[in-house]
Amino acid sequence: MRRALSRTGAAGSGPARGVLVLMLASGLAACGALPRGAGLESEVLRVTSDEVPADFAVEPVTRASLARFESWPRIGERHLEWIGHTAEPPNRIIAAGDVLRVTVWNTEDNSLLTSPGQRSITLDPVTVSASGTVFMPYIGTIRVAGMSPDRAREVIEGRYVEVTPSAQVQLEIAETRGNMVSLVGGVGRPGTYPLQDQSATILSLLAEGGGVDRSLNNPQVTLMRGGQLYGISVERLFSDPRLDTTLRGGDRVIVEPDDRYFLSLGAAGSEAMHRFPKDVVSALDALSIIGGVSEARADPKGVLILRGYPSSAVRADGSGPPHTRVVFTIDLTSADGLFSAGQFRILSGDLIYATESPVTSAQTIMTLIGSGFGLIRSAGSL
């Protein structure tokens, strides 16, 4: 009876082994369709037909190519100029809209301005007109805009001396309406501020407004002056005193976060949208921001940066991208690739795509093979 059972088990092991081998073969055949989080580099860069030209260009990031890439247009960037610091004396400057209070002193008994025994008279406050002038009794219209209070006092006094030889003039700015600047958003206390003197700068205005909001991502400063826009980052503004722009009455200053971003997908440390934390972000900076690439999945030789250019930027002579769609490839396993990645500039809208390593698929296949043969051995021992 025991011998019969043994023969039956041995005979049954053949079909069972065959079924398991068939299952293993089917599993290996399906390995090409194994679920993955990213494509292989060869898959992403594959051209569907040799007869159809690729609708994108592939550009390796190396030391030899960096200078050429640097001359290409920087899409998605702010292209605003900035006004440097202008040294001005710390004097208050009269502007249109300012209100002046003038007092005239004299020692004459018969004066056009004062009554007998009266030695001074304070005139009604006058507002500097849009043309920069004020009207004063007995001496007419005088231009004072652009003058310091001391200079305006001298000019007005000189005119009154022609009428009253002993006249002396005292002048003060009662209200400052013309020398006002607006600080819009991004600070502790936005609002309208008077310029204390003509040497006032944008950094002093930001300080007066309570400082830049610390929660803003790489804050940007926009200056609106005379219908023109000028722009700079707070990072650059703080780093160079020569960029501390001297303000003028009527300026508007806007502080807002940097709206540039890049994306990360595939076998990267994170799949998300990332804001620029500083003015210049290199490929290595970006990889650090996204948490690197997956050690278990990513191909360190297949980090891709996908970028789109406008058709107007395309150039055949190398001075611009050869195609509207460009894939930059980075090899993180070579010193040249690493150094070059540290100098390659990421632009707003770039997609950093970490491709899947071919080794990952091979390891999966080997795991399936090992599991299959383990099952076969287990079946054979029944």
Residue 308 covered by a domain: yes
- The enclosing domain of 167 has a CATH number of 3.30.1950.10
- The enclosing domain of 246 has a CATH number of 3.10.560.10
Q: Report pLDDT for 22.
A: 47
Residues 114 and 187 in one domain: no
Question: Quick one: pLDDT band at residue 86, thresholds 50, 70, 90?
Answer: confident
> Pick from 332, 237, 245, 321: which is nearest to 287 by CA?
332
For the chain, the farthest-separated pair of C-alpha atoms sits apart, in whole angstroms, at 151
Q: Report pLDDT for 115.
A: 74
Q: Tell me the pairing of strands 298-308 and 325-330.
A: antiparallel
Q: Report pLDDT for 249.
A: 84
Residues 192 and 219 in one domain: yes
Residue range 213-239: average pLDDT? 95
Question: Quick one: pLDDT band at residue 36, thresholds 50, 70, 90?
Answer: low
Residue range 345-368: average pLDDT? 75
Residue 82 covered by a domain: no
DSSP 259-302: --EEEEEESBS--EEEE-SSS--BHHHHHHHTT-B-TTTEEEEE
Residues 350 and 285 in one domain: yes
Residue 373 pLDDT > 70: no
Residue range 239-257: average pLDDT? 93
Instruction: Kindly state the tokens that stand for 328.
Output: 């930059």
The C-alpha atoms of residue 306 and residue 23 are separated, in whole angstroms, by 40
Instruction: Kindly state the tokens that stand for 63.
Output: 């030391």
Q: Report pLDDT for 139.
A: 92
Residues 107 and 138 in one domain: yes
Which of these three, 224, 256, 288, is where a domain ends? Answer: 256
The C-alpha atoms of residue 257 and residue 358 are separated, in whole angstroms, by 41
Residue 295 pLDDT > 60: yes
Judge residue 18's burial from the number of C-beta atoms within 10 Å of its C-beta, 0-12 exposed, 13-18 middle, 19 or more buried.
exposed
Instruction: Kindly state the tokens that stand for 335.
Output: 């010193």
Q: Report pLDDT for 15.
A: 54
Residue 175 pLDDT > 90: no
Identify the domain containing residue 149 by its residue range: 99-175
Residues 342 and 372 in one domain: no
Instruction: Kindly state the tokens that stand for 69.
Output: 């890439």
What are residue 152's phi and psi, to 5 degrees? Answer: -65, -40
Which of these three, 155, 175, 195, is where a domain ends? Answer: 175
Q: Report pLDDT for 40.
A: 77
pTM equals 0.69
Residues 184 and 231 in one domain: yes
Residues 298 and 368 in one domain: no
Q: Report pLDDT for 94.
A: 87
Who wins on pLDDT, 371 or 195?
195
Rounded to the nearest 5 degrees, what angle is found at the Cα of 349, between the Cα atoms of 344 and 354?
A: 65
Residue range 330-335: average pLDDT? 95
Q: Which amino acid makes up residue 34? A: L
The C-alpha atoms of residue 112 and residue 134 are separated, in whole angstroms, by 19
Residue 43 pLDDT > 70: yes
Bridge partners for 59 per DSSP: 328
Residue 193 covered by a domain: yes
Instruction: Kindly state the tokens that stand for 208.
Output: 């007066």
Residue 8 pLDDT > 70: no
Share of the chain above pLDDT 90, in %: 55
* Structural domain count of the chain: 4
Residue 315 covered by a domain: yes
Residues 272 and 347 in one domain: yes
Q: Report pLDDT for 29.
A: 46
Cβ(92)–Cβ(197) below 8 Å? yes
The C-alpha atoms of residue 60 and residue 64 are separated, in whole angstroms, by 10
Residue 83 covered by a domain: no
Which of these three, 256, 272, 297, is where a domain ends? Answer: 256
Residues 245 and 184 in one domain: yes
Give the three-state DSSP class for 230. strand
The C-alpha atoms of residue 210 and residue 186 are separated, in whole angstroms, by 10
Residues 23 and 57 in one domain: no
- What is the pLDDT of the chain when averaged over all its residues? 83
Residues 123 and 188 in one domain: no
Residue 8 covered by a domain: yes
Residue range 32-44: average pLDDT? 65
